[in-house]
Structure 1
Amino acid sequence: MEQSNTKPHLVLLSAPAHLMPVIELGKRLVTCRDVTVTIFVASFVQSAAAESRMVESALTTKLFDEIPSLSAAVRVVRPAFQVAISALETPPTALIVHVFAIECLRIADELKIPKYVFVSTNAWFLALIMYTPVLDKEVEGEYVDKKESFALPGCSPIRAEDLPDPMLFRTKANYYEYLKIGMEITKADGILVNTWEELQPKTLASLRDGNLLGSVAKAPVFPIGPINSEGLSLEQMTELAWGLELSQQRFIWVVRPPTQKSGGGSGLKVGNASDDMSSYLPEGFISRTRDRGQVVPQWAPQVEILSHPSCGGFFTHCGWNSAIECITNGLPMIAWPMYAEQRMNASC
């Protein structure tokens, strides 16, 4: 594809369940830099309803002409993405992929354009990803069985119980997918991480100064945060509903269908997406709490809610984007980490 003389055109690729931070990154790039941005959405079928609402909300800003969707898991989305990016009217001048869509990073080499990885969570998690290939050689047996914390040079050590789910059992396929991310991420021309200097100075210094990987080749790390932007079982959702009702407190609750353990046993799988909440909330809950609470199906504009002066706190699974939205708005958090890197986020 030939490059034109128009302003730079950046193509961003999200990963399933990580669309909102990618949209916010796109907004930041468009408003702060003289560039155009195209965002491609890679989504699971189960989360398509919520993500379609995020896309609809993003399009109302008039910052993007369109946000195409690629309805597939990351590991099978590459062919569709390759076709879609080749069909763009304006060729891309750089590619930015979410860290969990890193399999698509090599497309930039074929197009002979710069390539970047966007890590939408914290720098400590990025350090762990980059150091995982080293730990893979040094640690014997299962990580989950270790009593001692794992040392990350120049960073805070991490306890075994706080490791992301894919690292817990080395015999499972998702461990090797996670390990591959650690091996591939250093091949990027740069890594964008959703944090800022004052929040994680020690970890960022380690990533920058080579304390973490020593002489191992690594990509430069650029803190670009804060960029503001999971699942309950049926039993947990029922208990939470009763707790909210009995507390007599005012609330906004964004409800998604209950989840169940995935076939691999470590991740979570969202139930069938539906705006009909009667099948998984206690009978009469919505009508009994209507005078003091609002239950919203699938998705709500979280940034606007948390920045509202009447918001007094946030009960969260401690996804990184939620955490920094609370930090930047000065809100207290009740953390309930459940999976992925949420335990690391809660410990920061």
Structure 2
Amino acid sequence: MAQAAHVVMLTSSGAGHVLPVSELAKRLAVRHGFTVTIVTYASLSTPGHSSPLASLPPGVSVAALPEVSISDLPADAHLVTRILTVINRALPQLRDLLRSLLGLPAGITAFMTDMLCPAALAVSKEMGLPGTTTCECRDLPEPVMLPGCVPLHGADLVEPVQNRSDPVYELMVDLGLNYLLAEGFIVNTMDALEHETLVAFQELSDKGVYPPAYAVGPFTRRRCPDSDEVKHSCLRWLDNQPDGSVLYVSFGSGGALSTEQTAELAAGLEASEQRFLWVVHHPNDKDSSAGYLGTATTDDDPLSYLPEGFVERTKGTGLLVPLWAPQVEILNHVAVGGFMSHGGWNSTLESVAAGVPMVAWPLYAEQRMNAVMLSSDRVGLALWERPPLGKDGAIVPREEVAALVGELMEGEKGAMARKKADHLRDEAEIAQDRALAVVAGMVSLHRKSHGD
């Protein structure tokens, strides 16, 4: 059985501090099943201050930090001077108490202090206890509200911050802090795609919180000139398909589905009875990013991992391409009406530039965040099932695959996403024309400001 959330609350003296803390503790325990430890100061306790703590429900306990001497203070020292001196001098005892509580099975889920005890936050930070929660990001009970962004569940945040015990977590924190050394950010996006985020970033930049951000995208690969000599065989196949009838399926060069998921995807595509062009990669049962650094390389034919008879049964409606296909040309072909994608940012922008709606199937890195944004009412470019596709290694069954494909290609939600894709494509054409000029202008201004 999972341990109840354990909240530690540090309160200074005075009924105005102790009373609200005790009431909050009661409500957390009675209404939400939390366990709570209220921490007080023996040096600051009086019978009047302690009375709110006399009748606490089960699940709420009190721990008093030992007496500390303030006899060296002048007799007429201000009250706040005495209180803050006690608080500061009791920090070693607080550290010992927190350490002992961390050693219990319940640990510490959240640490709170009242307005007179912010010095305690340094101790909690030193011990790895942020002032909000120490649970894993993926287990956060409420959505994370980042300025200008759609609400994000903890499990939707970038994958490297999901596990605090993994060394990559600290590296990501350092990465974020190092960003602040920049004088500005050039971002491969456009206003029509992330307007609210860019506005919020500008407001924070004006306040000196972050360097300014410049949306200069979308930068996407250009289409190769059409010619029969260089045209890939899949493009010739698309030439013979009705306009907007083909679902393009690709999870990027780095993405990898498991063996079982590959089979379920194949069965779902077959059951959907929709035309499809699928770039098939080698499956990997351990790492969804196995292809990113080439760890999935093998001489096996990736089509050999598909269900028996699948290739033959789908010859009339589907085309299977091993390992690589010219994605930009495919997305811009008139026969393509949808894109099932891992939601990597390059693929997303290529889909935007081509005006093709998506089914987002995130696999690793920031792709879950992308999926949330792309499927939100704000953007509306993609369809995405909740709970997230393949969450925590779960297999997406063929029935869900077929339903998503059918909805994207023929359903009402797909039609709405297609309309939004058309709008974003028009905006992307305008943005692309001015993107390079913005970058060039920034560089020129930088050179002039440095006297070059």
Q: 1:155 to 1:244 in 2, by over 3 A?
A: closer
The Cα shift of 1:204 comes to: 0.9
**What CA distance in whole angstroms lies between the structure 1 residues aligned with 2:268 and 2:360?**
16
Give the alignment partner of residue 151 of structure 1, picking from 122, 145, 153: 145
Alignment of 1:183-332 (within 5 A): 183-210=177-204, 214-216=207-209, 218-229=210-221, 230-262=255-287, 268-270=289-291, 271-274=296-299, 276-332=301-357
Q: 1:248 to 1:158 in 2, by over 3 A?
A: closer
Q: Which has the bigger relative contact order, CA under 8 A and spacing at least 6?
A: 1
3-state secondary structure, aligned to 1:313: strand
The Cα shift of 1:341 comes to: 1.8
Summarize deviations over 1:13-38 as a string: whole Å, max 9, x none: xxxxxxxxxxxxxxxxxxxxxxxxxx
Q: 1:190 to 1:273 in 2, by over 3 A?
A: farther
Q: 1:269 to 1:200 in 2, by over 3 A?
A: same
* Alpha carbons 2:337, 2:357 under 8 Å: kept: yes
**What CA distance in whole angstroms lies between the structure 2 residues aligned with 1:224 and 1:147?**
35
The Cα shift of 1:182 comes to: 0.6
Q: Which 4+ runs in 1 deviate beyond 4 A? A: 135-138
**What CA distance in whole angstroms lies between the structure 2 residues aligned with 1:154 and 1:284?**
49
* Alpha carbons 2:256, 2:281 under 8 Å: kept: yes
Aligned to 1:32: none
The Cα shift of 1:254 comes to: 0.7
Q: Is residue 133 of structure 2 the alignment partner of residue 140 of structure 1?
A: yes
Q: Is residue 166 of structure 2 the alignment partner of residue 172 of structure 1?
A: yes
TM-score of the superposition, structure 1-length normalised? 0.54
The Cα shift of 1:331 comes to: 2.0
**What CA distance in whole angstroms lies between the structure 2 residues aligned with 1:284 and 1:269?**
27
Amino acid at match of 2:325: A
**Superposition RMSD on alpha carbons, in Å?**
2.7
Q: 1:253 to 1:274 in 2, by over 3 A?
A: farther
Identity of aligned residues (%): 44
Q: Is residue 157 of structure 2 the alignment partner of residue 163 of structure 1?
A: yes
Amino acid at match of 2:215: P
Q: 1:154 to 1:336 in 2, by over 3 A?
A: closer
**What CA distance in whole angstroms lies between the structure 1 residues aligned with 2:283 and 2:265?**
12
Q: 1:234 to 1:209 in 2, by over 3 A?
A: same
Q: Which has the larger radius of gyration?
A: 2
The Cα shift of 1:200 comes to: 1.2
Summarize deviations over 1:243-288 as a string: whole Å, max 9, x none: 22333332110111112334xxxx6324334461244112333333
* Alpha carbons 1:257, 1:274 under 8 Å: kept: no
3-state secondary structure, aligned to 1:261: coil
Summarize deviations over 1:181-211 as a string: whole Å, max 9, x none: 2112222343221211122122112222326
* Alpha carbons 2:258, 2:284 under 8 Å: kept: yes
The Cα shift of 1:327 comes to: 2.7
Amino acid at match of 2:133: E
**What CA distance in whole angstroms lies between the structure 2 residues aligned with 1:169 and 1:247?**
37
**What CA distance in whole angstroms lies between the structure 2 residues aligned with 1:291 and 1:285?**
11
The Cα shift of 1:317 comes to: 2.0
3-state secondary structure, aligned to 1:272: coil
Summarize deviations over 1:39-81 as a string: whole Å, max 9, x none: xxxxxxxxxxxxxxxxxxxxxxxxxxxxxxxxxxxxxxxxxxx
The Cα shift of 1:164 comes to: 1.5
3-state secondary structure, aligned to 1:207: helix
Alignment of 1:89-108 (within 5 A): none
Amino acid at match of 1:180: D
Summarize deviations over 1:218-252 as a string: whole Å, max 9, x none: 43322121123522111010111122233333211
Aligned to 2:64: none
Amino acid at match of 1:334: V
Amino acid at match of 2:271: L
**Consecutive unaligned residues in structure 2, runs of 5 or more:** 1-124, 222-254, 374-452
Q: 1:147 to 1:243 in 2, by over 3 A?
A: same
Q: 1:206 to 1:276 in 2, by over 3 A?
A: same
**What CA distance in whole angstroms lies between the structure 2 residues aligned with 1:150 and 1:136?**
18
Q: 1:321 to 1:278 in 2, by over 3 A?
A: closer
Amino acid at match of 2:203: D
**Consecutive unaligned residues in structure 1, runs of 5 or more:** 1-132
Q: 1:136 to 1:149 in 2, by over 3 A?
A: farther
Q: 1:323 to 1:307 in 2, by over 3 A?
A: same
Aligned to 1:3: none
3-state secondary structure, aligned to 2:143: coil
Higher helix share: 2
* Alpha carbons 2:138, 2:155 under 8 Å: kept: yes
TM-score of the superposition, structure 2-length normalised? 0.42
Please, which moves more after superposition, 198-207 or 185-194? 185-194
The Cα shift of 1:297 comes to: 1.5
3-state secondary structure, aligned to 2:186: strand
